[in-house]
Amino acid sequence: AKYVYDFAEGNKDLKDLLGGKGANLAEMTNLGLPVPAGFTITTDACQRFLAEGSHVDGLDDEIDRHLRDLESAMGRQLGDAADPLLVSVRSGAKFSMPGMMETVLNVGLNDESVAGLSRQAGGNDRFAWDSYRRLIQMFGKTVCDVPGEEFEDALHKAKEAKGVRDDVQLDADDLKSLVAAYKKVFVKHVGHDFPQDPRQQLDLAIEAVFRSWNADRAVLYRRQERIPADLGTAVNVVAMVFGNLGPDSGTGVAFTRDPATGESGIYGDYLQNAQGEDVVAGIRNTLPLADLEKIDKKSYDELLRIMATLEGHYHDLCDIEFTIERGKLWMLQTRVGKRTAAAAFTIAAQLVEEGMIDLDEAVTRVSGGQLAQLMFPRFDLAGDPAALTRGVGASPGAAYGKVVFTSAQAVAAAAAGEQVILVRRETNPDDLPGMIAAQGILTSRGGKTSHAAVVARGMGKTCVCGADQVEVGRDQFTVHGEVVHEGDVISIDGTTGRVYRGEVPVRPSEVVQYFEGDLDPGLANEPLVAAVHQIMTHADERARLRVRTNADTGPDAARARRFGAHGIGLCRTEHMFLGDRRELVERLILAHNKAERDDALAALRPLQRDDFLEIFREMNGLPVTVRLIDPPLHEFLPSLEELAVQVAVAKERGSSGEQAERDERMLAAVRRMHESNPMLGLRGVRLGLVIPGLFAMQVRAIAEAAVALAAEGGRPRPEIMVPLVGAVQELETVRTEAEKIIAEVVGDSGVEVLIGTMIEVPRAALTAGQIAEAAEFFSFGTNDLTQMAWGFSRDDVEGAFFWRYLELGIFGISPFESLDRDGVGRLVRIATEEGRATRPGLKLGVCGEHGGDPESVHFFHEVGLDYVSCSPFRVPIARLEAGRAAV
């Protein structure tokens, strides 16, 4: 295998192998842009290294060869005493994981080459010794696990001894002493001296970067972002360039468009006389990129030219890291930039407008997850609440919660069900658990490219950063003397950057208003709304999967239709048996004889008919799948424990009379119906077979409602669905009875009623060929199918032990959330193929929760289903994903 690629050998399509950073460095090198020389060690090598625990055969020789090429390109040798080449060793996985893995800078410095570096920098001893102490610190921490505080302490002592506050006030001699102190720290913890051999430094740094793939925070980030655990990271070895060589040097980040809104312009941050890590760490407040024009016009102009080249080349928003070393511009990284959900839509539409991409491509540039974010509510500022302060709107959204100051507090509060806002001076990768747990993040330092901003945008979490009037303390923060305590509620607006005290009310987002069809006319031409409209329209045109909704009330059906649903895929009739109707259901269950039971059913029928009529009206002309009652009947009865206590107490008191008698009868019924595994018990089609008249009543009500709508001139398209079928005989029994009733009710009204079944028991999937004989359609109930295929109780397992499964990587995401393609998906495939083999026109859909999950929608498209059905608010998301699956 080939483990090492020179930058000139790679290209942007090799991300699997070279990681995002390596692939794009290669691409820029080949575009002739000013990239420092370097090479990339592949993710393959990392996977090998992690699997074998150490040495990878052949890797050393390859590194040797590429290092020699690098040395000859730069005209210097690694760590050479007189004129050293220094390199950075940087992580870079296929998917960007900002700040989660390790980087070591200044590799190649030692007691001798430090003098050579000083000479290169024009006799700048201070710079050379500062670089050396940074190497020992970074190397000690990342390669040898020396606790970082030890170095911090030594630095602190050096400043104290000198009586200064800032690092920059330490001179060359101070830093030289500090290097000696750092070396002592190193030897104390590691047991040997800081390695002087440059090549050994390099090898150890590379291995440390490999290992950092499995650092705790990297593992957590991958789980959060659903990045597979086995990809490994590439390692980039790059000739060092320095942004901290004086005022004519500096470092920055730039975006070719605004990553928050998508508007074209000059966006980014610049820090004079600094190294790249200083910008991303958010440690110093940066200058707007536009200010670079005044500082160094030549570099600025060159940067703008390069940005235009990159956009033209990638046909997308790019973000860039660059360094200026004594007036010479170097590109350290570029990638297709992370962006907010709103920017993703507007940028895609702009690129279409500019002729850079076509509409098919535009549809792939956005995702259902992003659309979901745009559907979150916004702050309602009608009362014009006064803002406490304002920072940079780094990641949009409207979030409120109690103020906490540490990651651990945020995690604890969220576990206790509280909403919190994590307030930090700046965040670092160790804050990740708290950032995940919080509703939003507020920092007092750092710009749009600080750690907090980048990570929050990536996660779609609301974030305001760089609110520099905020003084963050231990258990309170102040703004101009006004104190906000831990536990006080604040609201943060990630779009405007405004921070409010208390809970600001919210209103529907513009995008939801657009879907609802009641958009404020002033907003109709807003770029975002226009972009969503254009992209959704195209997605609908391309989609092959239809999208239906799961709804069981008229208003839900109406909303889903406005959101673009093509009918109802699941109307759960049990939801109609709650509230004041519970009593009728009780009567049905407690009935002593046929007459009592018929009475109860007769009372329920008109109510059901009206429910159905309302829904059929809202979905006039579109199919409505009504599922016959599914859950175990005891769900409608009081709990066994409570009732037993009640009856015992009543007996004790000697109460008698009608109520006491009823309670006793009820208790007997509850006892009789008690099941150890109700999910595997008397529910679904089994109820219909056991309780005479129950399904018949529902079928009659459905047919009557359909006839009533037809009589009004409407066009009902009812589909009756039988739940929990495992054998064709079950379905045939129900079907025979239902057909008789339908024929009787429908007469010559012209109403057509389809009869089909859910496929949600594994046996049904495996005998789908037989079941299709009796079914005009199948709808996959992937909730139960997942439950029964894995044997996981859908109501219990997620909190109980899934964390361990996720930790072990048995699955990357709960199979109840995203369809398990290999297992449950296989059942879906089998049933699809065998069902259609029996009945070529068989209509196939899915109505489990997976119908609204983007990943799963792509799977259902591939398998060839006709539709997915999901909750009303997921309908637009499923429409978009259905379009994306088809382009």
Contacts to Mg ion by CB under 5 A: 760, 781, 784
510 binds ligand PEP (CB under 6 A): no
268 binds ligand PEP (CB under 6 A): no
Which 528-587 residues touch ligand PEP, going by CB under 6 A? Answer: 570, 572
Please choose which of Mg ion, ligand PEP, none residue 262 contacts, taking the beta carbon within 5 to 8 angstroms, the exact cut-off set by kind.
none
Neighbour order of strands in the sheet with 87-93? 4-6, 38-41, 233-239, 87-93, 103-107
What are the beta bridge partners of residue 199?
A: none
Taking the mean position of all CA atoms in its chain, how far away is CA 126? 45
Please choose which of Mg ion, ligand PEP, none residue 848 contacts, taking the beta carbon within 5 to 8 angstroms, the exact cut-off set by kind.
ligand PEP
Taking the mean position of all CA atoms in its chain, how far away is CA 257? 23
**What string of H, E and C letters represents the secondary structure of 247-267?**
CCCEEEEEEEECCCCCCEEEE
Please choose which of Mg ion, ligand PEP, none residue 572 contacts, taking the beta carbon within 5 to 8 angstroms, the exact cut-off set by kind.
ligand PEP
Near ligand PEP by CB under 6 A, which window of 188-196, 393-401, 459-467, 781-789? 781-789
CA gap 678, 737 in Å, rounded:
26
Closest CB to ligand PEP among residues 358, 795: 795
Please choose which of Mg ion, ligand PEP, none residue 30 contacts, taking the beta carbon within 5 to 8 angstroms, the exact cut-off set by kind.
none
Closest CB to ligand PEP among residues 469, 783: 783
> What is the residue type of 41?
I
Near ligand PEP by CB under 6 A, which window of 372-380, 457-465, 522-530, 777-785? 777-785
> What is the residue type of 214?
N
CA gap 818, 580 in Å, rounded:
36
Closest CB to ligand PEP among residues 104, 785: 785
* Cα–Cα nearest to 257, from 329, 178, 310: 310
Of positions 783, 814, 838, 871, contacts ligand PEP by CB under 6 A: 783
The nearest distance, CB 866 to Mg ion, in angstroms, is 19
Indicate if 847 belongs to the active site: yes
Near ligand PEP by CB under 6 A, which window of 118-126, 739-747, 764-772, 775-783? 775-783
Of positions 393, 466, 718, 848, contacts ligand PEP by CB under 6 A: 848
760 binds ligand PEP (CB under 6 A): yes
Residues 6+ apart with CB under 8 A from 498: 387, 389, 390, 464, 492
Closest CB to Mg ion among residues 311, 574: 574
Using DSSP bridges, classify how beta strands 482-485 and 476-479 pair: parallel, antiparallel or unpaired: antiparallel
318, 463, 847, 870: which is the annotated catalytic residue? 847
The nearest distance, CB 604 to ligand PEP, in angstroms, is 20
Please choose which of Mg ion, ligand PEP, none residue 10 contacts, taking the beta carbon within 5 to 8 angstroms, the exact cut-off set by kind.
none
Please choose which of ligand PEP, Mg ion, none residue 570 contacts, taking the beta carbon within 5 to 8 angstroms, the exact cut-off set by kind.
ligand PEP
Closest CB to Mg ion among residues 564, 781: 781
Closest CB to ligand PEP among residues 325, 630: 630
Closest CB to ligand PEP among residues 10, 567: 567
CA gap 598, 692 in Å, rounded:
9
Please choose which of ligand PEP, Mg ion, none residue 730 contacts, taking the beta carbon within 5 to 8 angstroms, the exact cut-off set by kind.
none
Structure-token match 């599914």, residue found = 630
* Cα–Cα nearest to 695, from 732, 724, 734: 734
Near ligand PEP by CB under 6 A, which window of 2-10, 192-200, 428-436, 778-786? 778-786
Near ligand PEP by CB under 6 A, which window of 57-65, 306-314, 701-709, 780-788? 780-788
* Cα–Cα nearest to 772, from 723, 831, 816, 719: 831
Query: What x-and-dash track marks residues 798-837 binding ligand PEP by CB under 6 A?
Result: ----------------------------------------
212: number of CA atoms within 13 Å, CB side?
29
730 binds ligand PEP (CB under 6 A): no
Indicate if 538 belongs to the active site: no
**What string of H, E and C letters represents the secondary structure of 227-251?**
CCCCCCEEEEEEECCCCCCCCCCEE
* Cα–Cα nearest to 24, from 304, 317, 454, 336: 336
The nearest distance, CB 651 to Mg ion, in angstroms, is 39
847 binds ligand PEP (CB under 6 A): yes
Of positions 102, 174, 784, 881, contacts ligand PEP by CB under 6 A: 784
Beta strands in 628-738 (DSSP E): 717-722
Please choose which of ligand PEP, Mg ion, none residue 140 contacts, taking the beta carbon within 5 to 8 angstroms, the exact cut-off set by kind.
none
Residues 6+ apart with CB under 8 A from 3: 41, 42, 44, 45, 56, 58, 59, 62
Please choose which of Mg ion, ligand PEP, none residue 319 contacts, taking the beta carbon within 5 to 8 angstroms, the exact cut-off set by kind.
none
272: number of CA atoms within 13 Å, CB side?
13
Q: How many residues interact with ligand PEP (rule CB under 6 A)?
A: 10
* Cα–Cα nearest to 91, from 429, 437, 370, 403: 429
* Cα–Cα nearest to 263, from 531, 539, 465: 531
Closest CB to ligand PEP among residues 301, 795: 795
Please choose which of Mg ion, ligand PEP, none residue 770 contacts, taking the beta carbon within 5 to 8 angstroms, the exact cut-off set by kind.
none
Closest CB to ligand PEP among residues 26, 685: 685
Say whether 884 sits in a helix, a strand or coil. helix
Of positions 630, 719, 730, 853, contacts ligand PEP by CB under 6 A: 630
Near ligand PEP by CB under 6 A, which window of 228-236, 369-377, 477-485, 779-787? 779-787
CA gap 101, 208 in Å, rounded:
10
The nearest distance, CB 631 to ligand PEP, in angstroms, is 8
What are the beta bridge partners of residue 330?
A: 323
**What string of H, E and C letters represents the secondary structure of 83-110?**
CEECEEEEEEECCCCCCCCCEEEEECCC
Closest CB to Mg ion among residues 19, 631: 631
How many other C-beta atoms can be found within 10 angstroms of the C-beta atom of residue 397?
A: 26
What are the beta bridge partners of residue 84?
A: 77
Q: What is the CA radius of gyration of the chain?
A: 33
46, 66, 451, 634: which is the annotated catalytic residue? 451
Known catalytic residues are 451, 847
Q: Which residues bind ligand PEP (CB under 6 A)?
A: 570, 572, 630, 760, 781-784, 847-848
